[in-house]
Structure 1
Amino acid sequence: MNKTEIMQINPLSEKEFSELEKYLEKYAPVNEEDFPIRSMSALDGYLTALISSPVHYSMDFWLKPLFNFEKAKMKTVEKVINLLLRHYNSIVHSLNVDPENSPFEPLFDYFGEDDEGIFITDFWCMGYLKFVELSDILVEGGEIYLNEIAKGATFMFSYHQENENNDKLELPSASVAEKMADEVIEAVYQLHYLGRTAYLQAQEEDLKIEDNVTHH
């Protein structure tokens, strides 16, 4: 899918979110030795990194680490792809099209009951980093922001390490968790801007080369 191509926005319903997550669990490649994408939170991070990449990738490239459809019926594959692209496009819309009225909201995991819980960044950030590792590309100037996402990927682990001597291990406070989430979101915006800028600059260079070839 071209980065400039915007499909009609049709966000997934709660039922469809659950459905896509079940497909992630059912068709996840068994040979994935590193972190497998088996939750909507991790998928959301993975797709966000894809969208923010300075390079355009074929669907086959980024789909393989997510699903193994060898034993799936074609009707099922088509349904999964449809759900996947609709969610992809919702992220594109929030990052590129209307960030003020439709701000980007990562699908961080939520722990706790009702308003007493906190958002946890770990799995979302692990999904983001998985695509970055897959693409093996880091946009110039992006290292400092990627480090923030790496911190988000180990947020709970680091918190538990720092508080392992406590008699009762509890969740981080809302303020601590919110600070981590805000830092991750800011890093995502910065990486997206850098990636988008690099992508558009590369397109302009390609057009210049084509124009020079045409006139010689």
Structure 2
Amino acid sequence: MLPALSEKELDRLEDLLITYGNDYSVLNLAELNGFFTALASSPITVHPEQWLPAVAGGKVPKFKKPAHEEAYTALMLRYASQVADELGDNIDQFEPLFEENETDDGAVIIMEEWCFGYMRGTQVASWDALPPEQDQLLKAISLHGLEDNFELLDQMREEDIQACVPQVIEAARQLFKFHNQRH
């Protein structure tokens, strides 16, 4: 088991995502966490050579320095392993890495990036159609993770969006259990 990333390493990973990012790549840790959650919850194993280009928006970036490439790849592999371990060790305690915004009314949870990452992960892993119950769980995530749903989200009140947070967390847990109970 690889050691979990320190705060400093997580910051470095996020810096590398931004530095080498583009319009199609994963740009922050919340999205990356969602992506790796979907991969770990997947019915099939997706290997790094399949998912590394997907994180970068299609092809692995051209790095300015070999040290950047080494750090990027090593931190990615460790973070993927860390997320899988968090899911596998105690799925009922698993918490997605959502972003938070401070408002006058307190902290507001932003699920969008995480959900986008999750949906990207389901695409990379080529998830098959799910049974109705699990499909509803995935819809709780895709509501916040697909551009097709932006119009719908724009019509929702902030408190209704916040009320979706526990549903998304529960959906992530249940989808992991669903795909991992068959092995």
TM-score normalised to the size of structure 2? 0.82
Q: Deviation string for 1:55-83 (max 9, x for gaps)?
A: 11221100002233323433222212222
Structure 2 counterpart of 1:132: 122
Q: Are 1:50 and 2:39 matched, yes or no?
A: yes
Structure ranking higher on relative contact order (CA contacts 8 Å, 6+ apart): 2
Unaligned runs of 5+ in 1: 1-6, 164-171, 201-216
Change (3 A) 1:12 1:47: same
Equivalence for 1:182: 166
Question: Which range moved further: 179-188 or 13-22?
Answer: 13-22
Q: Within 5 A, what are the aligned runs for 1:3-22?
A: 7-8=1-2, 10-22=3-15
Percent identical among aligned pairs is 27
Amino acid at match of 1:48: T
- Residues 99 and 73 of structure 1, relative CA distance in 2, 3 Å threshold: same
Q: Residue 195 of structure 1 corresponds to which residue in structure 2?
A: 179
Structure 2: segments with no counterpart, 5+ residues: none
SS, match of residue 55 in structure 1: coil
1:174-201 CA-partner distances (Å, limit 9, x unpaired): xx45421110011111111122134x1x
> How many residues are treated as equivalent by the alignment?
176
CA RMSD in angstroms, aligned pairs only: 2.5
TM-score of the aligned structures, taking structure 1 as reference length: 0.71
How do 1:62-77 and structure 2 match up within 5 A? 62-67=51-56, 68-77=60-69
Q: Is the 8 A contact 1:54 1:195 kept in 2?
A: yes
State the match for 1:93 in structure 2. Answer: 85
Instruction: Point out the structure with max Rg over C-alpha.
Output: 1
How far off its partner does 1:98 sit? Answer: 3.2
